[in-house]
Structure formats: C-alpha cells, structure tokens
C-alpha cells in the first residue's frame, strides 16, 4: 500500500486564491460551505474551452462542435462515476442544487400530489429544500411536514418514523446540514421511506465535497448537488434521478435540445437526460465540473474525508476551550462545519473583526432560519472547512476570536 500522508501544503499550491493576502494578512478561507475555491486545473479547463474549444453542442457538424460535445458527454460520464450512478443518462445538468430541487418538485412531485398529501422534510433544511416544497404544496393543496431535531442538531428518527405515512409522497432530506454540520443517516432514512414505497430526494450540496457518495448504495431516488461547492464553476449543478422516475416525468422547461421533433400541433420530447436540458447548457461549467471531479478523485474522497475529520476534531477541541463560546450543532456524526455564538459579541460584529484579521467566515442565518429559531439564536458564526484547510487556519481562527475579546473587553 502506498503511504497516505495527506500533503495539504502541496494541495494548497493548486489553489491560486489561497495564497493571497487580505488587509495585508494571509487569507484564511473558512467559508467553504458557501462556496469553495477553484484549483488551477479547473481555471485552465475553462480558459482552454473558451480559448480553443468553444462551440455549441449536439447540433454542429463541424470540428469544434464535435469536440465540445465529446467533452460535455465525457463530463456527464465523470459525474455518473463520481456518485456511482448506474447510467450516465441518470445525470441531468442544472444551475445548482436549488434548481435541482425545484426540478424534482415541479416535474416529479407536483403531478403526483392531491390535496391532503404530504411532503416530509426536516428541521435542518436549507431554505432551498423548504421553499420549493411550500410552493408545490400551495399549488396542489398538499401539506409540508417537518421532522424535528434534538439539542445536538440530530434528526429524531422515531419522530421521522411517526410522520412517515401512506400520505407521504416524497421525503426530502439534506445529507449534511449547512448550518450545523450534522451528517444525516440518509441510508437508513431511505430504507424507512422505501418500506412504505415513499421516494427520497437527498440534498447533497454539502456532502459531495467532503465524502464519497454512492447513490446506488444509498438507493436514493434523487440526489442533487452544486458544482461550485465541489471546487468547480458556479452556475452548474446536478440532479441524479433513477431512470425509472426520469422516464415518467414531464419536462421541466421547454426549448431546444429537449425535443426530438416539433410541429405546431405537437412536440415529441427527447429522451433522458436531454428532455430536462432545454436550451444551450452551461457547457463550460459542465466541462469545468468534470475537471474538478478529476481533481478531487485523484486525491481520493476517502482520504479527504479522513483528513477533514481530524481537522474538525482539532477545531472542535480548540473552540471548546474558548470561554463563553457555544457550539451550535454537536451531532455525533458531523462534518467540516463549526457553527458558534459568543456571549461577548453578536455574530455580525465577530464576522467584521475576523474579516479584518484575514479570516473569512460567514455570519448570519445560513439560509436556515428555522435552525436558528430552534437554537434560539438570531444568527451564528460559521467556519466551514475544505481539505485545503490546515491546523494553522484553525489557530488563526482562534487568534482572531481572541481579537474579538480584546475589542469587546
């Protein structure tokens, strides 16, 4: 077996944004749950595409169009392998996880719903996994049900089981909470739901950058994620759906590429996945995402996961020593997020002071207002890691927090 020393300093060199200074201080980037920095290979891929390969796909008979089409199709294969989809045609490109959830809400769930039916989510969802369901509920007369969480920020599974019924038409659950870092037992949740023949959507926006995902092993019906949190470009995301579902679903949007023949009387829709990809897609984004997947796959998701776990433990120990600091989200199964509040200062004041120290974190409700309400705080400070973060980054965070105490002495 090869040695598995995780050479984080070597990886950091791949990310040009990480070596800059802000306010004359080295940047400590701990806002990865919002978006991740990009490795040079992704930037180069975008550059190469626009410099030398730009053409529209699936329609040209010329050299460049064929080249772009090949690169585009190859990226779909990469995504399929990355999350272990059975077939590439189960991968649909969208703008991001948010659009992915909206696609499933409107194309899969909406036609199934009758008044009184239910959609079951959890208390720790991002707004993007709440609002699309509220919209579809309003359109159909269905109800939104919410599984509660405990004080550690873990799902209460017996409550989930109680809420699950023959009225439930879909369960939608985040894989990892963006506000708390909780890793949900999605495989178990899916088993429980499938026992009642209820399909499950998993929001993987926060999980794909941090751990290996196998949609077949999970047996997820739908799985969505965004490219930009996975070190890829913004504006590109993925919906994985089991082919059996996708085949039955009506298109999400109408336009070019999603048709096989159009007359004014009738349109024949294209096969999957193209049926769901109306219009010229974000070709550069798709190819860039493929490059990001190549990059993290070469490092290895299980090695990334192990390294980040150790980093999280180090960070948890370091923050726990700070007087008056309360961690929000203390689940046993947790990944890459330290969300906290201080008695001494409000999260926004902390955010401003940390920023001046070069430490980039997020202060606010993290698009998860129900979570904030559950823990009785208006906002939290959230430090979120990627595999390129170091123990020194955590030390810098702690030093910056001490600066808050100096200001609010």
Partner 1 sequence: MSEINELYQDLILDHTKKPRNFEVLEGASRHVEGYNPLCGDRYTIYVRMEGDVIRDVSFQGSGCAISKSSASMMTTIVKGKTKCEAEAIFENFHKMITGQSGVDKNKIGKLEVFHGVSEFPVRVKCASLAWHTLKAALGGEEKTITTE
Residues that bind partner 1 in the complex, under the rule CB under 8 A: 345-349, 352-353, 356, 363-365, 369, 372, 377-379, 403, 407-408
> Rounded to the nearest whole angstrom, what is the least distance from the CB of residue 218 to partner 1 in the complex?
34
Going from the C-alpha of 198 to that of each of 89, 92, 193, 221, the distances in angstroms are: 23, 22, 5, 9
Q: How far apart are the first and last CA of the chain?
A: 53
Q: In whole angstroms, how close is the CB of 34 to partner 1 at the nearest point?
A: 13
Least CB distance to partner 1 at residue 272 (A): 38
In whole angstroms, give the CA distance from residue 292 to residue 228.
9
User: How many helices, marked H, and strands, marked E, lie in the chain?
Assistant: 14, 17
Q: Per this entry, what is the length of the chain?
A: 409
Those residues whose C-beta lies under 8 Å from the C-beta of residue 89, and which sit 6 or more positions away, are 243, 246, 271, 272, 273
Question: Which letter, b or e, does each residue of 200-217 get, where b requires 16 or more Cβ atoms within 10 Å of its Cβ?
Answer: bbbbbbbbbbbbbbebee
Residue in 55, 146, 259, 367 annotated catalytic = 367
C-alpha–C-alpha distance, residues 105 and 213, integer Å: 22
- Decide whether 229 or 365 has the Cβ nearer to partner 1: 365
SS3 content of the chain, % helix, strand, coil (to 5): 45, 20, 40
User: Please, which residue, 274 or 340, has the CB nearer to partner 1?
Assistant: 340
The question of whether 367 is a catalytic residue gets the answer: yes
Task: Count Cβ atoms below 10 Å from residue 36 Cβ, excluding itself.
Answer: 24
Alpha carbon distance 291, 268 (integer Å):
34
Cβ closest to partner 1, residue 224 vs residue 328: 328
Cβ contact 100:246 at 8 Å: no
Nearer to partner 1, 147 or 380 (CB): 380
Residue 46 vs 344, nearer CB to partner 1:
344
Q: Which is nearer to partner 1, 325 or 344 (CB)?
A: 344
Smallest distance from the beta carbon of 126 to partner 1, in angstroms?
Answer: 15
- Would you say 338 or 345 has its CB closer to partner 1? 345
Whose tokens are 């941090």? That residue is 210
Where residue 300 falls (left for φ over 0; alpha for ψ -120 to 50; beta otherwise) is left
H or E element that contains 330:
none
- Backbone torsion region of residue 153, taken as left when φ is above 0, otherwise alpha when ψ lies between -120 and 50, otherwise beta: left
Active-site residues, by number, are 367
């Amino acid at each position: 077996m090869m040695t598995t020393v995780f050479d984080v300093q070597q990886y950091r060199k791949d990310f040009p944004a990480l070596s800059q200074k802000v306010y004359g201080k080295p940047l400590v980037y701990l806002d990865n749950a919002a978006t991740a920095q990009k490795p040079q290979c992704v930037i180069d891929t975008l550059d190469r595409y626009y410099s030398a390969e730009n053409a529209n796909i699936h329609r040209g008979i010329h050299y460049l169009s064929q080249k772009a089409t090949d690169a585009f199709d190859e990226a779909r294969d990469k995504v399929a392998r990355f999350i272990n989809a059975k077939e590439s045609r189960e991968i649909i490109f969208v703008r991001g996880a948010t659009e992915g959830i909206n696609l499933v809400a409107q194309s899969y769930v909406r036609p199934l719903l009758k008044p009184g039916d239910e959609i079951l989510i959890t208390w720790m969802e991002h707004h993007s996994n709440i609002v699309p369901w509220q919209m579809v509920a309003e359109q159909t007369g269905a109800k939104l049900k919410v599984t509660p969480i405990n004080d550690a920020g873990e799902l209460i599974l017996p409550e989930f089981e109680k809420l699950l019924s023959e009225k439930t038409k879909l369960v939608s659950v985040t894989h990892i909470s963006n506000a708390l870092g909780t890793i949900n037992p999605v495989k178990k949740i899916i088993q429980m739901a499938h026992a009642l023949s209820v399909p499950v959507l998993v929001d993987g926006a926060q999980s794909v950058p941090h751990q290996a995902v196998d949609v077949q092993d999970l047996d997820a019906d739908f799985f969505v994620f965004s490219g930009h949190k996975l070190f890829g470009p913004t504006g590109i995301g993925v919906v994985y759906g089991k082919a059996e579902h996708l085949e039955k679903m009506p298109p999400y949007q109408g336009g070019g590429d999603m048709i096989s023949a159009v007359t004014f009387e009738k349109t024949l829709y294209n096969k999957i996945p193209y049926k769901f990809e109306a219009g010229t897609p974000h070709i550069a984004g798709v190819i860039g995402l493929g490059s990001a997947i190549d990059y993290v796959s070469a490092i290895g998701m299980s090695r990334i996961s192990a390294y980040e776990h150790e980093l999280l433990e180090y960070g948890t120990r370091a923050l726990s020593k700070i007087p008056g600091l309360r961690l929000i989200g203390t689940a046993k199964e947790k990944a890459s997020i330290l969300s906290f509040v201080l008695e001494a200062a409000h999260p926004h004041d902390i955010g401003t002071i940390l920023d001046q120290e070069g430490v980039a974190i997020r202060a606010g409700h993290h698009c998860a207002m129900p979570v904030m309400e559950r823990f009785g705080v208006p906002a939290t400070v959230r430090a979120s890691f990627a595999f390129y973060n170091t123990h020194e980054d955590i030390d810098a965070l702690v030093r910056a927090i001490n600066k808050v105490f100096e200001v609010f002495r």
